[in-house]
Amino acid sequence: MNRWCQMMLWTLIAGCLGICLSGCKPQTQQASQSTPESAAEVPAQRASADDGIIVAMGDSLTAGLGVPEAQAYPARLERKLRADGYPFQVINAGVSGETSSGARTRTEWMLTLKPDIVILETGANDGLRGVDPGVMQENIDAIVKTLQAQNMVVVLAGMQMVRNLGETYTQAFAQVYPHIAQEYDLILMPFFLKDVGSKPTLNQDDGIHPTTAGYEIIVENLYPYVMQAIEKLRDRP
């Protein structure tokens, strides 16, 4: 088993035990899932009347586990948008250890943030725990339906799994994201960790969570999809 697969297996075991990879206390993780508003530490209204709101909803890859909050991708994305003249507030609504089931339970809370655009990054922990891809698809499907019912533009960030879970599982997992994106006419980023995943120099010691340099690449890769979302937002009725 290569180092990447070993790290994936280790993370699965740690996740099942409820242990945060950064060494955070398990009860902190549990509290953050039950009270997402305190976990995200974000305002529920626009910073100014002219601001648009983007909610970055996801797991530890969104939360920025192991890096300063200002270096996680939501904060980096907001700085880049504002530097380019787009007045958007990007809210970090990432919860470490969360599966698609957890994200589904948080959807109604997230609506209170009144986002214009939602970047949905979920499913990595489902894959690490071997959750049935059909269950994951059902959860993401429900999330997207809820968001679109409120006329929100959704960017779906896809994930890929290592093949040690079996070819059948890997293929079924990979098909979930394009299937949902096509069904609901979503903007699809095929792989959230493109150019970053499995590269030791761009990941922390756990081999899974990006470093600040890794997040810089993620934002560069994500940015064109966010631009598509902004255009779609402008064109909506």
Catalytic residues: 60, 206, 209
Residue carrying the six token digits 């979503």: 186
For residue 64, what are its two tokens? 């920025």
**What distance in Å separates the CA atoms of residue 130 and residue 192, rounded to the nearest whole number?**
19
Query: What is the Cα–Cα distance from 87 to 84, expressed in whole angstroms?
Result: 9
Query: CB of 194 within 8 A of CB of 221?
Result: yes
52-58, strands of its sheet edge to edge:
88-94, 52-58, 117-121, 153-157, 187-189
Residue with tokens 């297996």: 9
